[in-house]
Amino acid sequence: MALTNTIYSSPVFQQACSQFDAAADILGMDAGLRERTKRPRRCVVVSMPVRMDNGKIEIFEGYRVQHNLSTGPAKGGIRFHHDVTLGEVAALAMWMSWKCSLAGLPYGGGKGGVIVDPRALSITELERLSRRYMQEIIPFIGPNVDIPAPDVGTNEQVMAWMMDTYSNHQGHYDPGVITGKPVSLGGSLGRREATGEGVAWFVKAYLQDLNIPPEKTKVIIQGFGNVGSEAALALYNWGAEITGISDYTGGVYNAKGIDLKAALAHIAQHKTLQGFRGGDTLTNEQLLEQECTVLIPAALERVITEKNAGKLKCRVLAEGANGPTTNEADKIISDRGDIELIPDVLCNSGGVIVSYFEWLQNLQNYYWTKPEVFDKLHRMLAKAKASVDETMKKYNCSRRTAALVLGIARVAEAKASRGLFP
Ligand code: GLU
Q: In the chain, what percentage of residues exceed pLDDT 70?
A: 99
95 CA closest ligand 1 atom index: 4
Q: How many CA atoms lie within 13 A of 15 on its CB side?
A: 27
Ligand 1 in contact with 179 (CB < 6 A)?
A: yes
Which pLDDT tens digit goes with each residue over 225-240? 999 999 999 999 999 9
| Mean pLDDT of the 254-281 span | 95
pTM score above 0.85 = yes
Ligand 1 in contact with 355 (CB < 6 A)?
A: yes
38, 75, 111, 204: the catalytic one is: 111
CB crowding 389-398: b at 16 or more within 10 Å, else e:
bebbeeeebb
Tell me the C-alpha distance between 183 and 195, whole Å. Answer: 16
92 CA closest ligand 1 atom index: 4
Which pLDDT tens digit goes with each residue over 188-224? 999 999 999 999 999 999 999 999 999 999 999 999 9
Asked if 224 and 345 touch (Cβ cutoff 8 Å), the reply is: no
Going from the Cα of 410 to the center of ligand 1, the distance in angstroms, rounded, reads 19
Going from the Cα of 110 to the center of ligand 1, the distance in angstroms, rounded, reads 9
SS3 string, the chain, reads CCCCCCCCCCHHHHHHHHHHHHHHHHHCCCHHHHHHHHCCCEEEEEEEEEECCCCCEEEEEEEEEEEECCCCCEEEEEEEECCCCHHHHHHHHHHHHHHHHHHCCCCCEEEEEEECCHHHCCHHHHHHHHHHHHHHHHHHCECCCEEEEECCCCCHHHHHHHHHHHHHHHCCCCHHHCCCCCHHHCCCCCHHHHHHHHHHHHHHHHHHHCCCCHHHCEEEEECCCHHHHHHHHHHHHHCCEEEEEEECCEEEECCCCCCHHHHHHHHHHHCCCCCCCCCEEECHHHHHCCECCEEEECCCCCCECCCCHHHCECCEEECCCCCCECHHHHHHHHHHCCCEEECHHHHCCHHHHHHHHHHHHHHHCCCCCHHHHHHHHHHHHHHHHHHHHHHHHHHCCCHHHHHHHHHHHHHHHHHHHHCCCC
User: Whole-number mean pLDDT of the chain?
Assistant: 97
Which pLDDT tens digit goes with each residue over 36-55? 999 999 999 999 999 999 99
111 included as an active-site residue: yes
Going from the Cα of 64 to the center of ligand 1, the distance in angstroms, rounded, reads 14
CB atoms closer than 10 angstroms to residue 334: 16
Alpha-carbon torsion 150, 151, 157, 161, what sign? negative
Which pLDDT tens digit goes with each residue over 297-337? 999 999 999 999 999 999 999 999 999 999 999 999 999 99
Ligand 1 in contact with 322 (CB < 6 A)?
A: yes
Cis previous bond, 106, omega within 30: no
Ligand 1 in contact with 348 (CB < 6 A)?
A: yes
Going from the Cα of 196 to the center of ligand 1, the distance in angstroms, rounded, reads 12
Ligand 1 pocket test target in 114, 188, 352 with most atoms within 8 Å of CB: 352
Closest protein CA for atom 10 of ligand 1: 352
Alpha-carbon torsion 391, 394, 399, 405, what sign? negative
Asked if 67 and 96 touch (Cβ cutoff 8 Å), the reply is: yes
Asked if 215 and 239 touch (Cβ cutoff 8 Å), the reply is: yes
421 — pLDDT class (breaks 50, 70, 90): confident
5 — pLDDT class (breaks 50, 70, 90): confident
CB atoms closer than 10 angstroms to residue 233: 18
Domain annotation for the chain: domains and CATH numbers = 11-172 (3.40.50.10860), 192-347 (3.40.50.720)
Tell me the C-alpha distance between 223 and 4, whole Å. Answer: 31
CA-CA distances (angstroms) from residue 261 to 157, 229, 236, 272?
24, 11, 10, 14
pLDDT above 80: residue 3: no
Ligand 1 in contact with 149 (CB < 6 A)?
A: yes
pLDDT above 80: residue 1: no
Ligand 1 in contact with 352 (CB < 6 A)?
A: yes
- Kindly report the backbone phi and psi dihedral angles of residue 378, in degrees, each rounded to the nearest multiple of 5, phi listed first: -60, -35
Tell me the C-alpha distance between 172 and 188, whole Å. Answer: 20
349 CA closest ligand 1 atom index: 10
**Type of residue at 210:** L
Which pLDDT tens digit goes with each residue over 385-417? 999 999 999 999 999 999 999 999 999 999 999
Asked if 253 and 280 touch (Cβ cutoff 8 Å), the reply is: yes
Going from the Cα of 109 to the center of ligand 1, the distance in angstroms, rounded, reads 10
